[in-house]
């Protein structure tokens, strides 16, 4: 099996605010002495793994990330008629298997059933919890030590296999991510702009004044982004219990989502959905490397996409010249020139 699959994408977004910082501004990064727009890897991965595109071929193999599983268990037990005191006590026991619970809060009585850390539950663990809830409802007796062995090392959660899982309280059940996702950055320097907007009161009569019913401000920017992903196929297959076909499906879902799915930030305000315009996929056992150095000097050409493609391919060729082949094979899809197709890219990445 070829070990590494490296994916390089160029995607152009019109005015947007896809990924905001703590002040509501588009996230940025300084690279090559210039400010660039940035989309964090966390934002990208969440958009992909929660998308319909990702779920399309992977339904039943996607985990759930939440703090409130204990609350869900409590509500399920109450629904079956278990007394509230028992339901609360047993829910605490189940929740504590996955992490430290929050402290009791008199104003929010169910908060003590929540886990402090977000936990990514596998489908197998969710099934085990559902089965235990049914058993407790039927038996009306406390769960045994054996009942509470709910964590699973072997699972079929493709999102956990790709992006990993960290359980501070149970490190033996951690999963090392098989996919590495870089923060997407613009290939050119940017300036974040302000959008001053107003909203009019539909029932406001002229004689009462012509002023706006609301005044606001939002910030945005546009850019052509370079995105780099690297997938360790051996690690992915190992994380999925050596299920080769499921690993292929996971990689297919990842590539397709990365090409088609945009982060959801401010989509209703900007409708900034976009497909990747250019995709380069490389396969081989060689040490992976990003091609972001191609954009250390900001692109300034009038035909920014064509120049960016040229820089990527030129950088790749020159790296191969000085280091030797950095991959055994590669495929290209270019939506501007009509070269290749997404179907061919996915087939190449997964075969």
Looking at the chain, the whole-number percentage of residues with pLDDT higher than 70 is 98
Q: What pLDDT does residue 214 have? A: 72
Q: Tokens 């964590």 sit at which residue?
A: 151
Mean pLDDT of 115-131: 96
Q: Is the pTM of this model over 0.85?
A: yes
Determine the 3-state secondary structure of 121 from DSSP. Answer: strand
Domain boundaries defined on the chain: 4-59+176-194+220-350, 65-156
| Sequence-distant (≥ 6) Cβ neighbours of residue 108 within 8 angstroms | none
Question: Does the pLDDT at position 216 exceed 90?
Answer: no
Q: What pLDDT does residue 177 have? A: 97
- Measuring CA to CA, how many Å separate 114 from each of 96, 103, 108, 217? 9, 9, 11, 36
Question: Does the pLDDT at position 208 exceed 70?
Answer: no
Question: Does the pLDDT at position 53 exceed 90?
Answer: yes
Segment 166-207, tens digit of pLDDT:
998 899 999 999 999 999 999 999 988 887 777 777 777 666
Determine the 3-state secondary structure of 293 from DSSP. Answer: helix
Segment 296-350, tens digit of pLDDT:
999 998 999 999 999 999 999 999 999 999 999 999 999 999 999 999 999 999 9
Check if the beta carbon of residue 140 is closer than 8 Å to that of residue 80.
no
């Amino acid at each position: 099996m070829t070990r590494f699959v490296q994916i390089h994408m160029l995607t152009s977004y019109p005015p947007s605010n896809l990924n905001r910082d703590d002040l509501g501004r588009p996230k940025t990064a300084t690279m090559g002495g210039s400010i660039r727009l940035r989309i964090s890897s966390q934002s990208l991965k969440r958009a992909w793994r929660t998308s319909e595109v990702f779920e399309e071929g992977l339904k039943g193999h996607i985990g759930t990330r939440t703090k409130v599983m204990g609350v869900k268990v409590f509500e399920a037990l109450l629904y079956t008629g278990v007394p509230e005191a028992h339901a609360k006590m047993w829910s605490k026991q189940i929740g504590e298997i996955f992490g430290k619970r929050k402290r009791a809060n008199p104003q929010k009585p169910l908060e003590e059933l929540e886990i402090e850390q977000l936990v990514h539950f596998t489908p197998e663990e969710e099934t085990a919890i559902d089965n235990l809830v049914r058993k407790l409802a039927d038996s009306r007796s406390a769960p045994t030590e054996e009942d509470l062995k709910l964590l699973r090392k072997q699972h079929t959660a493709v999102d956990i296999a790709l992006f990993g899982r960290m359980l501070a309280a149970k490190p033996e059940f951690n999963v090392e991510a098989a996919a590495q996702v870089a923060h997407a950055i613009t290939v050119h320097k940017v300036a974040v702009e302000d959008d001053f907007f107003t909203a009019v009161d539909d029932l406001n009569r002229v004689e009462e004044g012509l002023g706006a019913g609301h005044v606001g401000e939002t910030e945005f920017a546009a850019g052509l982004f370079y995105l780099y992903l690297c997938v360790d196929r051996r690690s992915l297959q190992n994380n999925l219990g050596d299920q080769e076909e499921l690993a292929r499906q996971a990689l297919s879902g990842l590539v397709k989502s990365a090409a088609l799915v945009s982060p959801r930030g401010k989509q209703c305000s900007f409708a900034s959905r976009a497909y990747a315009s250019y995709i380069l996929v490389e396969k081989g056992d060689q040490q992976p490397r990003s091609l972001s150095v191609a954009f250390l000097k900001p692109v300034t050409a009038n035909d920014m996409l064509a120049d960016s493609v040229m820089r990527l391919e030129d950088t790749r060729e020159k790296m191969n010249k000085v280091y030797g082949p950095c991959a055994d094979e590669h495929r290209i899809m270019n939506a501007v020139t009509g070269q290749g197709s997404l179907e061919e890219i996915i087939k190449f990445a997964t075969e």
